[in-house]
Structure 1
Amino acid sequence: MFRIIMWAALIAIAIWFVKRLINPPTPKKRPQPPGDAAAPMVRCANCGVHLPRDRALSQEQQWYCSESHRLEGPAARDR
């Protein structure tokens, strides 16, 4: 019985080895890191929320997150 198991294991290993030689495993490709995907961020002069510059509103070299904050103007900060 032991001989049959040994022969079966040897045949299975030989088949696996031949298949591996015929079709080598393809190397896994690493995903490319995103290039310059990050947008520059700005801070709202009224509430301090950070948001992408392309979505912000500017007035007099200050950035705002919404039209209502732009109309209110910059907040007085005690910091």
Structure 2
Amino acid sequence: MKYLLVLAVLWVAIWLWRKNRREEMHDAMRERAAKARQQQRTAPSQPQAMVRCAHCGLHLPATDAIAGPGGAVYCSTAHREAATQQ
């Protein structure tokens, strides 16, 4: 009878230990997945070429710049018009 009680206590202890290990592994996997999602969201995009507005000197991405006469670039149509009127 005494051995049966010891065996039952051992069985419960092993069951609890394995249950906790499984939960820890699931938590670690969730954390890894969350970190991977965070890294994907914050991954930097490709660098863009920067140009300088010929009127005010503002630096802006070349894709947002507005072309003007003589190869000059401007940050807005108002600056392009102001530069051409002078």
Q: What's the TM-score, normalizing by structure 2? A: 0.50
- 1:70 is matched with 80
| Alpha-carbon distance in 2 for matches of 1:53, 1:61 | 13
- 1:57 is matched with 66
Q: Which residue of the other structure, out of 40, 49, 55, is the alignment partner of 1:40?
A: 49
Q: Which has the higher contact order (CA 8 A, sep 6+)?
A: 1
Cα shift readout 1:33-63 (whole Å, capped 9, x = no counterpart):
2341x43221111001122222211122211
Which stretches in structure 2 are left out of the alignment for 5+ residues?
1-12
Q: How many residues align?
A: 60
RMSD: 2.7
Which stretches in structure 1 are left out of the alignment for 5+ residues?
1-10, 75-79
Q: What's the TM-score, normalizing by structure 1? A: 0.53
**Structure 1 residues 24-35: aligned runs within 5 Å:** 24=25, 25-26=28-29, 28=32, 29-30=35-36, 31-32=39-40, 33-35=43-45
- 2:10 is matched with none
Q: Percent identity?
A: 33
| Alpha-carbon distance in 1 for matches of 2:74, 2:60 | 9
Q: Which runs of 4+ in 1 moved over 4 A?
A: none
